[in-house]
Amino acid sequence: MAGSRKDVRARLLRAALDLFSERGYDKTTAADIAERADVTERTYYRHFPDKREALFDGEEELQLALAAAVAGVRDGLSPADTLLQAFLSMIPALEHNGDLKRRRQVVIAAAAELRERELTKEAHLAASVARALETRGVRGPVAALAAISGIAVLSRARLEWLAGTSDDFATLLTTGFADLRVAVQT
């Protein structure tokens, strides 16, 4: 089955998620994913370097979007308030395809290799956010600490939202940053 590069990539992503959900991550191969998506294994590897990366597609775009969101926040705010405002502005993108993201998180939670890769992704996001804060004039060590803490809050909010909490994403983020402030002040 032919299709545009974007269409093929979307089929591969869906096939990977379906197979990981059905069989488990460890019992699924890149060849299985390619077959389910009706493409060759070679085509799979043109899109992803390994089977794990199908679940982490879009990481670079997210880094760029978070950095742009940080850059777009008005001046004069603390690093934490800058991050809160930036993350709040990203809510529509973060909530997009919520059902798919929930399924993805279940697969990640079930495999140690994927949980480790998710931590690497979060470290890359924190580094990108730290650079964006530094560009705004925040001193390097402060930018790094704020970014790591902010990404931890974002991750906690995302996981709670994916788990189906009754709070909306904005409330989860706002509460998370308030909790962070309490933790730092005590």
Domain extent for 48: 5-54
47 with 62, same domain: the answer is: no
Per-residue pLDDT reduced to its tens digit, 5-27: 889 998 999 999 999 999 999 99
Q: What is the 8-class DSSP label of residue 40?
A: -
39 with 81, same domain: the answer is: no
Question: Residue 95 in 3-state DSSP?
Answer: helix
106 with 165, same domain: the answer is: yes
28 with 83, same domain: the answer is: no
Per-residue pLDDT, 119: 96
111 with 159, same domain: the answer is: yes
CA dihedral sign of residues 104, 92, 49, 4: positive
Per-residue pLDDT reduced to its tens digit, 115-125: 999 999 999 99
138 with 177, same domain: the answer is: yes
* 157/162 Cα distance (integer angstroms): 9
71 with 47, same domain: the answer is: no
Which one, of 120, 122, 109, lies nearest residue 150 by Cα? 122
Which one, of 57, 46, 63, lies nearest residue 13 by Cα? 57
Q: What is the 8-class DSSP label of residue 51?
A: S
129 with 96, same domain: the answer is: yes
98 with 156, same domain: the answer is: yes
Is the distance from CB of 82 to CB of 73 less than 8 angstroms?
Answer: yes
* 12/72 Cα distance (integer angstroms): 34
- Please provide residue 102's backbone torsions phi and psi, each rounded to the nearest 5 degrees: -65, -45
66 with 47, same domain: the answer is: no
Question: Residue 128 in 3-state DSSP?
Answer: helix
Final residue of a domain: which of 14, 29, 54? 54
Per-residue pLDDT, 3: 67
Give CA separation, 156 vs 105, 106, 163, 179, in Å: 13, 15, 11, 11
Band of residue 2 on the pLDDT scale cut at 50, 70, 90: low
Per-residue pLDDT, 57: 87
Q: What is the mean pLDDT of the chain?
A: 94
39 with 90, same domain: the answer is: no
CATH assignment of the domain containing 43: 1.10.10.60
66 with 134, same domain: the answer is: yes
Q: How many domains does the chain have?
A: 2
* 72/113 Cα distance (integer angstroms): 35
